Structure 1
Amino acid sequence: MGRIAKTPTPPYYAVIFASERTEEDRGYGKMADKMVELASRQDGFLGMENANDEGLGIMVSYWDSLEAIQRWKENAGHQAAQERGKSGWYQSFALRVSKVESDRYFEI
């Protein structure tokens, strides 16, 4: 997967997850890789982008429908990762869902 997701013609949805991490890793990296793999096999998944800088992480995942986002939210493996995040990996986090009405992609 490239660093910038190549998404289809809108409309589609973006789930924006911003987080501040705790100091300890305790398996976070392995779980993050597992979640990328799991999400990429989920019906309705379109792509993902991720950036981290000094404890602040932003992950944007793209989905073809609100129903696909709901199925991802209810995925048992994803729910287990969420619980671990709440109990030890994150100091704080925010989750936002947006409908993408327009996009442009440029390669130079």
Structure 2
Amino acid sequence: MESYYAVIFTSQRTNDDNGGYAKMADTIEDLAKQQPGFLRVESTRNHEGHGITVSYWESLEAIRNWKVNAKHAVAQQLGKEKWYSHYHVEICQVMRTYSFQGE
């Protein structure tokens, strides 16, 4: 595969509306998977609420289209209002990958 892009979203959760957050997170992940140019997503959050989500995309255009998706925009606004005390987004071009898988 030629180079592609990663969106790295790091965040700190508040204690507000845990049930609503989980439901929205699942909805948004399912929606992202349907977007043209989506490749995959990986996410983790520790017990203190610090999380990292990395989504992978074929192009910057696909990332821009996802950013302005109406349902995603609603989730972003709710995140600012209720679910995150802060977050940071980085967009990176993946130039090369390699891996190891033991037995």
The verdict on a shared fold, with TM-score over 0.5 as the criterion, is yes
| Per-residue deviation, residues 20-52 of structure 1 (Å, max 9, x unmatched) | 000121500000000110000000000011011
Indicate the residue corresponding to 2:21 in structure 1: 28
Question: 1:10·1:103 contact (CA, 8 Å) conserved in 2?
Answer: no
Q: Which amino acid aligns with 2:12?
A: E
Q: Which sections of structure 1, spanning at least 5 residues, go unmatched?
A: 1-8
Query: Aligned to 2:35, what secondary structure does the other structure show?
Result: coil
In the alignment, structure 1 residue 59 sits paired with structure 2 residue 53 = yes
> TM-score of the superposition, structure 2-length normalised?
0.93
Query: Aligned to 2:71, what secondary structure does the other structure show?
Result: helix
Aligned residues, how many?
100
Indicate the residue corresponding to 2:31 in structure 1: 38
Q: Which sections of structure 2, spanning at least 5 residues, go unmatched?
A: none
Indicate the residue corresponding to 1:6 in structure 2: none
Indicate the residue corresponding to 2:98 in structure 1: 104
> TM-score of the superposition, structure 1-length normalised?
0.89
Aligned-pair distance for 1:104?
1.3
What percentage of aligned pairs have identical amino acids? 48
Q: Which amino acid aligns with 1:45?
A: F
